[in-house]
Amino acid sequence: MSHAAPFLEDLGSALPAGSENANPPGVGLGALLAEDFRTHGSDPLSPGFWALAIHRFGNWRMDVSHKLLRAPLSLLYRGAHRGAITLWGIDLPYNAKIGRRFHIAHHGAVFIGSRAIGDDVTIRHSVTIGLKRKSERLAPIIGNRIEIGPGACIVGDIQVGDDSVVGANTVLAQNVPPGSVVLGVPARFVAPEKEPGFAAAPSETAVPQKS
């Protein structure tokens, strides 16, 4: 794969410019948010849903072409984005392209600076997706139906193939073909039946009652 010019003066945001609405096409904001809400277990207290809603809103506002009309929306977006970072530790810039049914299963220390993320991707807390180093300005491209465990770092100019699994605390900095399961620092391929992966979205089970 080609690298962007690795010159130090090139340093800026490594993400797309964010000059247009990059929400998934063919679905309105309302329907998209309703779907995201269901993806997050229809829980109004889910920080993941709200962070994603702020992301969708940040993209949607780019459809408002008049600068003066967009300014208050941008102000609202920036405040909300900063709030999500401060309160929940979820940094999800609007110009990182994200597909449908993206699921942030738990919050805290989440940074998503990918070039693009497909549909039905699940991430958990402490997940970092971003640059490998300051001088290499290309972020990962994440495919469809990918599960990412807590604490995973996915960095650099790489592509993660569809239906892959990135295990907990894994540091992934290489291309991964579809259907892979990787685990370790640095990431190694594992047979799925040998290393059964990482946390699924937990739900609070019922409190055991005294009999």
Partner 1 sequence: MLRDLSSGVRQVVAAKSDENGDVPAGGAPSPSPGGTTPVIDNRPAEELGLRELLAEDFTTHDRGLLEPGFWAVAAHRVGRRAASVQLRPARLALEAAYKMAFTGIDWVWGINLPRSVELGRRVRLWHNGCMLLTARSIGNDVHIRHDTTFGPARGTDGTPATLPVIEDRADIGSGACVLGGVRVGHDAVVGANTVVLKNVPPHATVLGVPARMIPT
Among 48, 58, 130, 150, binds partner 1 (CB under 8 A): 150
**By CB under 8 A, residue 85 contacts partner 1:** no
Give me the least distance between CB of 90 and partner 1, in Å please.
11
**By CB under 8 A, residue 88 contacts partner 1:** yes
Residue number with CB closer to partner 1 (30 or 196): 196
Give the range of 7-15, 22-30, 93-101, 181-189 binding partner 1 by CB under 8 A: 181-189
Residue 163 contacts residue 178 (beta carbons within 8 Å):
yes
Q: Cα 143–144–148 angle (5° rounding)?
A: 80
Residue number with CB closer to partner 1 (64 or 168): 168
| 138-144 contact pairs (CB < 8 A, 24+) | 138/3, 138/4, 138/14, 139/14, 139/15, 139/96, 139/113, 139/114, 139/115, 140/114, 140/115, 141/114, 141/115, 141/116, 142/114, 142/116, 142/117, 142/118, 143/118, 143/178, 144/99, 144/118, 144/119, 144/120
Site for partner 1 in 109-128 (CB under 8 A): 109, 124-126
Cβ partners under 8 Å of residue 8, min gap 6: 134, 135
Give the length of the chain: 211
Give the range of 51-59, 144-152, 155-163, 172-180 binding partner 1 by CB under 8 A: 144-152
**By CB under 8 A, residue 209 contacts partner 1:** yes
**By CB under 8 A, residue 80 contacts partner 1:** no
Within 13 Å of residue 191, how many CA atoms lie on the same side as its CB? 2
**By CB under 8 A, residue 107 contacts partner 1:** yes
Give me the least distance between CB of 141 and partner 1, in Å please.
22
Among 139, 149, 156, 157, binds partner 1 (CB under 8 A): 149
**By CB under 8 A, residue 193 contacts partner 1:** no
Buried b (16+ CB within 10 A) or exposed e, 137-164: bbbbbbbbbbbbbbbbbbbbbbbbbbeb
**By CB under 8 A, residue 210 contacts partner 1:** yes
**By CB under 8 A, residue 154 contacts partner 1:** no
Given the rule CB under 8 A, which residues bind partner 1?
45, 47, 87-89, 106-109, 124-126, 147, 149-151, 165, 167-170, 183-185, 195-210
